[in-house]
Structures are given as structure tokens and as C-alpha cells.
Amino acid sequence: MKFDTPAGANPIDRQRVVGHPHDRIDGPRKVSGTAPYAYERHDVAPDAAYGWIVGATIARGRVRSIDSRDAEAAPGVLGIVTAANAGPLKKSESHVAALLGGPTIQHHDQAIALVVAESFEQARDAARLVRVDYAAEKGRFDLATERAHARAAGPSFSGPSSISVGDFDGAFANAPISLDAVYNTPDQSHMMLEPHATTAAWEGEKLTLWTSNQMVAWAVRDLAVTLGIPKKNVRIVSPFVGGGFGAKLWIRADAVLAALAARRIGRPVKVALARPQIANNTTHRPATIQRIRIGAGKDGRIDAISHETWSGDLPGGGPETAGAQTRLLYRGEHRRIEHFLSELDLPEGNAMRAPGEAVGLLALEVAMDELAEKLKLDPVELRIRNDVQYDPEKGPNRPFSSRKLVECLRVGAERFHWSRRNPAPGQVRDGRWLVGMGMASAFRNNLVGASGARVSVDGRGRVLVESDMTDIGTGSYTIMAQTAAEMLGVPLDRVEVRLGDSLYPVSAGSGGQWGANSSTAGVYAACVSLRRALAQKAGFNADDADFADGHVIAGNRRVKLADAAGPDGVVVEDRMEYGDLQERYAQATFGAHFCEVGVDAATGEVRIRRQGGAFAAGRILNPKSARSQVIGAMTMGAGAALMEELVVDTRFGYFVTRDLADYHVPVHADIPDQDVVFFDELDDKSSPMKAKGVGELGICGAGAAVANAIYNATGVRIREFPITVDKLIEKLPPLT
């Protein structure tokens, strides 16, 4: 099925099941401990051995030799895998660095060996006995230093890296009001709950991996390339994923080394990364340096806007596309967006929740707050005056499919009681606390991807949905069940959903905020085909048939779904593919963030008192799980503003803050009150579901609202994130 014209009326519009808050159907298994996660697959691999990864202790150079004799002689050790005995390995295009290093070392903690033993403890202890001799080389570890050697970045998933429209230099020079500021964001780690983990087993030439992965089809492709085996011989099973945030879009060292070890010792092998290994062994969000220049008239309308951003990655890597949102969010006839990339010898930089926009809006929305102050204009009003209903790069010929930014700003401000804010910074006190409010716009592109599903109805009238789509804690099981229930006119409890297996039809997978809209559209496509088949079996004209209350209905005739399916049932498979609507219409999600903070006048301690947000993201398929996604994202945004930082040891090229003892993330006590409201909105250019993604929108702008609230509370503007006590305390107003 192809979606190439705007969606008309369809069965989803009934919203008997879709659009209502439902508990997650996978919830009972998760809270009871019966949901099978990758490392816990004792049912399929009861005799599995355990592997422990040995990581490089240099950041750049070569391995001269590996002496594993003591480790091999240790109790319980079954084997040791290194590049010398692993056999020929290739590097997938998805990976910048080899997942098994040696002799060349590309970054600190790059996997160079796997010790396999009868128990986890034996493998871990024996790994300490592996002796490695290195030839270290000088590396490049500091973005600020290497910025001078940056080059223009190439195209990325968000489009070209450099955009120029009009005459920015001239317009900026002549602007009555202008802002020129530089903002810095640090490297960040995903810190998902479940670490990277894999259980691997071979049966002849066929490999099965039970692994924690967001994109099953990509995992099949990349593992086949890496090991040099046919894709048909690889099966990936990932029905439950304990968070990923982009870190699990691609297979990592645990998957490859588990597969290699299982083949070497002839039995299943489990490999999990310990928390301190994740930051350096896997991927992270790269640090950025961002220069933003805005020129506006005295009425606040922007005429010139420029966003230059610098980030770093290993040779062959890509940029953090922090200027992505600036291309589409605000008006401005004269525009320049540029991304520059420096080569660094740090671990691989790659996607983390809302790549580009999450850190780009930390800079842009603080810059907008600074511009509002220069103009003596309310920050909400400034954004409203710069709303544009079409792609500002391409003009009115490419309108937005739907854009309710202004509505989000107004409703969000009203719900948050923004009118009570004192615009003069540092004027509101509550005992020892300086109190302030801040806000920011939210923006995230709307992406869709081809997605398939298999849907069947059996002789009892029960519906089964199968797809390789993953559920990373986002509620995929439930919204896909809701879609099938809506399309086939059955209660939700009559639908079973099976996900995360490469034996099922290929879906869009989970990432980029495209998962929910795309995967449900795939179920929609399969259900359209199934409705047609069932109607024909029931003797109806397929175009006239309706599905409701467990029946196929046409005119005065009603046939039970079970009877229409017959004793053998009916099974169909279909997929949703997309035409050029995304080229003809700018598609994005929008919102407005608000935050109130208290800052201790003596110590500089920051406490978030409340967060609020209003969001427009097409049809909200399940308001309950969507709200959970947004409040989680708002929390991550607050963490980015206040505490999250992978601190780089620029002498040796590794991240020092490697675990939750010193890489801090917000907890419940840090944010006592969060309010979320969704707009009723249908985007008929997005998909037949008329939905969009929402999981990443909530992080976009949330941190900037925190930063702007801190400024309103204290009068101290911090442009280097995170905003920690040491950056605030010496600049606070004198105690009175």
C-alpha cells in the first residue's frame, strides 16, 4: 500500500479504541518479571557460557601483542576471542569504528578481546589477566582545540549540512537589534536502564541473536556484513528492550563478540556491557560549539538568522546536526545554517534522543530569550511574531502539513500562569530561594519510514499482529494492538501482538520519533488487505463492508468475524510505503516548554519546581503512553540543562564520568510537578493514521526553558552546559 495522497476519512477516524488512554498490554509481564530481555534468555540457551569484553586502555595506536596465557589457564575459562583468531571481519557502513579492534586501536575501550567462561564471575576475573602491549599514538581529544581544523560536514539524515538563503551578512549588519552569542554543550551518554546485552547461539550455519536492539532489520543487515554470512542465516530476536535512546539503533560489540564466541566454543554465549563500559565502548551524543546570530527589527520580527555548529567524531563519522531546527522553526528572509566537523579520537558519536534538535534548541531557544530581553519583549510574544506557516527556506510553495506552534505557546502559557512571571531578573524571592520562570519552543521533524505487518484472524475471532517492530519502553505493543482493534472492530483484549523478531515482516523500527506513526501505518495497511479478504469470504462487496462489534457488516447482514475467517483463519501481509508528500509539505511536530526554578541565593543550587508543556503532534494514538513519553523526555531535557556531562580526560582520551555514580541524571525528587497537554490535531499528510511522532519532541527545548528560568531567577546567563553550581555561584547577586 502506498501513501502518496492526503488521507481521507478512514476507520481510524472512529476512534473507538485509537486515541483513548489504555494501559500498556505488555505492562503485566514487565512488572511481574516475565518479559524476556536479551540477557535473561535462559529458556532458549540454558547452557550458555558468559563473556566479558576486554577494552583498549589507549585511545589511539596499535596492539603490539596480547598475552592471554594466564587468562586461558584461569578456572572455568572456555576460550578467548581476539582479532587474531576471530576470522575475517568486515565493517558495516553503519559503524565508524570496528567493533572488534586490533591491531589498530581507534578509541579508548574499543573491544580487543572477549574472555568466555562457565560463569560471569570467572569471565570477568580472567579478563583481568589478559596482558596487552600497546604502541600508543598522540590523539585529538578536545573539540575546542580541534575546532580550528574543522571542515564543512557532508549531508546527513536531516539534509544538507550547509544552507544559505538571501544575504545574511548584509541583513545582519543592518539589523536594528542583533544578537551574536556562542553556546557549548558537552558530550552526553544515553544511560538507558538496560545495558547492551546479547545471547548468541548457532545451529549449523544459522545464527540467532537474542539482543537488545531498536532496529531489527538493520541488525540483521549489519551482522551479516560484519561476519560475512548471508542475511538469511541471521535471526534477530528483540521483543523487549529496556531503553535505548538511539544507543541501540545499531549492533555493538556485545552482539558481534557473542556471535564469534558462540561459534568458537560451540555453545551459546551471553555478553553484557557493564555500566562503566557503555560510555566509551558504545556511542554517545557529541559535544557542540554553536554560534547563533539573529538580526531583528524593533518589532521583534527576525530578518536574518544564522546557526553555525561545530562537533567532532572519529574519521569517517558525521556531525551533530544542531542547526536542523533553525532551518524551519522561525521566519527570516536571510538565513545561513552551517555544520562543521572535526576529527577526534574519542569514542563514536552518534544518535541520541532527538539528535541535532535536542542540543540545537538548548542554544537557539536561549538565544531567543536573550533577543527578547534586548527587545524588551515577552519571550512568548517574540516567538509568536516569528511564526511562519511555510518552509522559510523554500517559501509558500512548501507549506507545513500542520503547524500549531502559536496555539501551543498560548495554551501552554495560560496553563503555566506565565502572566505571573516578573520579567525583571533576580526580583522574586521565596525565603532563601531566587525564583524564576523560563520558556522555550519545541520542534522536531516528522519522519516516516516504510513499515510492514502480518495480521491474521483465526476461527475464534482472535486477531494476531506480527512485525519486527520493537518496543523500547514506548508502548509499541499497545498502539499496534489499538490499530488492529480499530480496523477490525474488536475489543483490545481480542488482539495479540508479537514483535521484535526478524522472522516477522520488516517494520520502520524504533528511532527518530518515526516508530509509532510508521509501525501503526503498517498495521493499517495489513488490516485494509485483511478487511478486503474477510469481506469477500463473507460474501460482501469489500468496499461496502464495515467492521464493528466483532462482526463484518454490510447493509442488514452481519457475519461474525470468526465465521468470516473460517476454521483455517485468514492471514495477510502488507506494508505501508510513502510517496512525495514529505517533499511537498514541511512536516514537523511542535510544542512549548515552561519551567519554574528556585536557585539557592547562597549556594547556587538549582531546584526545578515545576515543568509544563503543550504539544501538537498529530493524532495522539494513546494519550497515556504519549504523556509518559513526553514527561520522560522533559526530564531528560532538564538533565541536559543541569547535570549531564561526559567529562573528557584530554590527556588520555576517555570519558571519566562512566557510571551513574558520577554521570548524574534526574530522579523523581528533582522534578516534583510536570504538566502535559496535547492538542487535538489530525495531520492527513503524515500517514493514514494522521499521527506524528512524539517521543523526542518532549526533550526539544526543555533544557532551554530551564536555563531561561535560571536567568530570570538570578540575572546570570550561562551559555555553557550543564549549568552547574560552580558556574553560577560566583556570579549570583550579593546576599542581602
- The Cα–Cα gap between 198 and 277 comes to 15
Burial of 399 (0-12, 13-18, 19+ CB in 10 A): middle
Is 570 found in the same domain as 464? yes
Residues 153, 157, 159, 163, CA torsion sign: negative
Helices (H), 50-119: 69-72
Buried b (16+ CB within 10 A) or exposed e, 289-305: bbbbbbbbeeebebbbb
Nearest to 515 by CA among 507, 506, 504, 524: 507
**In-domain check, residue 140:** no
Tell which residue, 616, 210, 599, has the closest CA to residue 443.
616
- Same domain, yes or no, for 414 and 477? no
Question: Is position 78 within any domain?
Answer: no
Identify whether 28 is preceded by a cis peptide bond (ω within 30 of 0). no
Helix (H, G, I), strand (E, B), or coil: what is residue 588? strand
| pLDDT tens per residue, range 10-20 | 999 999 999 99
**Measured distance CA(598)–CA(600) in Å, rounded:** 7
The x, y and z cell numbers of residue 547, run together, are 467492521
CATH assignment of the domain containing 14? 3.30.365.10
Q: What is the pLDDT of residues 599-611, one digit of tens each?
A: 999 999 999 999 9
- Say if residue 565 is in the same domain as residue 632: no
Sign of the CA dihedral with 617 first, then 623, 629, and 632 last: positive
Mean pLDDT (the chain, rounded): 97
pLDDT for position 157? 78
Mean pLDDT, rounded, for 642-658: 97
Residue 155 confidence (pLDDT):
87
Mark whether 511 and 617 lie in a shared domain.
no
> Is the pLDDT confidence value at 156 over 90?
no
Asked if residue 736 has pLDDT above 80, the reply is no
3-class DSSP string for 359-413: HHHHHHHHHHHHHHHHHCCCHHHHHHHCCCCECCCCCCCCEECCCCHHHHHHHHH
Q: Average of pLDDT values for 196-202? A: 98
261: in domain = no
Task: Please say which residue of 515, 544, 579 terminates a domain.
Answer: 579
Give the model confidence (pLDDT) of 395-416 as tens digits: 999 999 999 999 999 999 999 9
> Cα-Cα-Cα-Cα dihedral of 393, 398, 402, 405, to 10°?
20
Picking from 509, 544, 579, the residue at the C-terminal end of a domain is 579
Cα 119 from Cα 122, distance rounded (Å): 5
> 678 and 727 share a domain?
yes
> CA 446, 12, 630, 281: dihedral to nearest 10 degrees?
-60
Residues 507, 472: one domain? Answer: yes
Grid cell for residue 441: 519552543
Question: Does residue 16 belong to any structural domain of this protein?
Answer: yes
The pLDDT tens digits of the residues spanning 471-529 come to: 999 999 999 999 999 999 999 999 999 999 999 999 999 999 999 999 999 999 999 99
Identify the burial level of 624 via C-beta atoms within 10 angstroms of its C-beta, where 0-12 means exposed, 13-18 middle and 19 or more buried.
Answer: middle
Cell of 335: 538565513
Q: Does residue 80 form part of some domain?
A: no
Both 566 and 473 in one domain: the answer is yes
Residue 514 corresponds to which amino acid?
W
Q: How confident is the model at residue 159 (pLDDT cuts 50, 70, 90)?
A: confident
664 vs 61: CA distance, rounded Å: 31
Q: 484 with 440, same domain? A: no
Which are the contacts of 712, defined by CB distance < 8 A and separation ≥ 6? 421, 422, 423, 425, 436, 437, 438
| Any domain includes 460 | yes
Residues 593 and 694 placed together within one structural domain of the fold: yes
Q: pTM for the full model? A: 0.98
Contact 444, 589 (CB under 8 A): yes
Domain boundary among 522, 549, 579: 579
Predicted pLDDT of residue 652: 97
Could you report the per-residue pLDDT of 83-109, keeping only the tens digit for each?
Answer: 999 999 999 999 999 999 999 999 999
Q: Residue 234: phi, psi to the nearest 5?
A: -115, 130
Backbone torsions φ then ψ of 248, nearest 5 degrees? -115, 25
Q: Does some domain include residue 633?
A: yes
Q: Are 522 and 454 in contact (CB under 8 A)?
A: no
Using the structure block, give the residue that is written with the C-alpha cell 547577586: 733
In the prediction, which pLDDT does 735 show?
87
* Active-site residue set: 696
Q: Quick one: average pLDDT of 568-582?
A: 97
Task: Give φ, ψ of 80 to 5 degrees.
Answer: -135, 130
- The three-state secondary structure class of 505 is coil
Residue 158, pLDDT above cutoff 90: no
pLDDT in tens, 384-394: 999 999 999 99
Q: Is there a single domain that holds both residue 626 and residue 707?
A: yes
Strand-pair partners of 295 = 178, 304
pLDDT digits (tens, 9 = 90+) for 258-292: 999 999 999 999 999 999 999 999 999 999 999 99
Percent of the chain with pLDDT over 70: 100
* 707 shares its domain with 648: yes
Residues 6+ apart with CB under 8 A from 506: 216, 217, 451, 452, 468, 575
Which run of H or of E encompasses 200? strand 197-203
Region 247-258 average pLDDT: 98
Structural domains of the chain, count? 2
Cβ atoms within 10 Å of 691's Cβ, excluding its own? 29
Report pLDDT digits (tens) over 342-392.
999 999 999 999 999 999 999 999 999 999 999 999 999 999 999 999 999
Range(s) of the domain holding residue 528: 2-35+448-579
Task: Confirm whether 128 is domain-assigned.
Answer: no
Same-domain check for residues 413 and 452? no
Whether the CB-CB separation of 12 and 689 falls below 8 Å is answered with: yes
